[in-house]
Amino acid sequence: MTQALLVSTVLLWVAVVALTAVVLALVRQIGVLHERVFPVGALVTPGGPRVGAAAPAPAAVRDLAGRPVALGGPDPDGARTLLFFVSPTCPVCKTLLPVVLDLARAERPPARVVLASDGDPAEHRAFVARAGLADVPYVLSSELGVLYQVAKLPYAVLIDGAGVLRAKGLVNTREHVESLFEAERLGVASVQEYLREHDDENGPPARTRRTA
């Protein structure tokens, strides 16, 4: 009886050790996969103004209430502007809007958000009312989309207080939006560019993430 109990105990411990080894191997593989896919930055599309150049400053841009909205050129308060191209029929845009607003407010100093689209003003006013966006500048300008060569949505552009375009790209997730601010902090056109420049020289760079 004692011998049988001893054997079963030994077998149990062997099973525990084997299971622990399997779990550790899985954790290691997850870590490797995480390193390969992180960070996921906004997709920088070809065309439009290049990062590091002066942001286009279209004339007579007005919001849905008819008030002028300054875009491009130095900001009087030195504030950055996150120009977010949206559409009332874009489900990803609707999901990402609260994230964009929260991230912009969490920046130090906070960034100004300007929403941009084109089309029927009545449709956009209804969208603004449903989404509770009355306090957010919302402009309708097909010229803006042409200037930045926006082909897909949602699309975002980060402009610094001096009117210089600091980051741009397609954004589908919180991480995509965060990557625009991260690229500005790193002084590069995109997070992917930073990784390409540093991986060969120093190995994988330290993963930085903004905290609110």
> Any idea what the CATH number is for the domain that residue 160 is in?
3.40.30.10
Residues 186 and 98 in one domain: yes
**pLDDT score, position 27:** 45
Structure confidence at residue 18 as a pLDDT band (50, 70, 90): low
Q: Looking at the domain assignment, is residue 171 inside a domain?
A: yes
Tally of structural domains, the chain = 2
Pair (90, 194) in one structural domain:
yes
- Residues ≥6 apart with Cβ < 8 Å to 110: 79, 104
Query: Six-digit token pair at 80?
Result: 């950055």
185 in a structural domain: yes
- Within this chain, do residues 101 and 190 fall inside the same structural domain, yes or no? yes
In a domain, 167, yes or no: yes
Dump pLDDT digits (tens) for 192-210: 887 877 765 555 444 444 4
Within a domain: 104 = yes
Residues 30 and 88 in one domain: no
pLDDT of amino acid 20: 67
Determine what percent of the chain is predicted with pLDDT higher than 90. 58
73 within domain boundaries: no
- Please state, rounded to an integer, the average pLDDT across all residues of the chain: 82
pLDDT tens-digit readout, 74-125: 888 889 999 999 999 999 999 999 999 999 999 999 999 999 999 999 999 9
183 and 98 assigned to the same domain = yes
What CA–CA distance (Å, rounded) separates 154 from 90? 8
Same domain, 187 and 113: yes
Write the burial class of residue 43 (CB in 10 Å: 0-12 exposed, 13-18 middle, 19+ buried). Answer: middle
Residue 21's domain comprises 1-37
196/101 same-domain check = yes
In a domain, residue 93? The reply is yes
Residue 48 lies in a domain: no
For the ranges 31-35, 37-41, 129-133, the lowest mean pLDDT is seen at 31-35
pTM: 0.75
Q: Are residues 136 and 198 in the same domain?
A: yes
188 and 113 assigned to the same domain: yes
Lowest mean pLDDT among 23-27, 62-66, 152-156: 23-27
pLDDT in tens, 175-196: 999 999 999 999 998 888 878 7
Place of tokens 């993963």: 207
Whether 108 is covered by a domain: the verdict is: yes
Say whether both 110 and 175 belong to one domain: yes
Residues 6+ apart with CB under 8 A from 45: 149, 151, 152, 169, 170
* pLDDT over 50 (residue 36): no
Residue reference for tokens 């995480």: 34
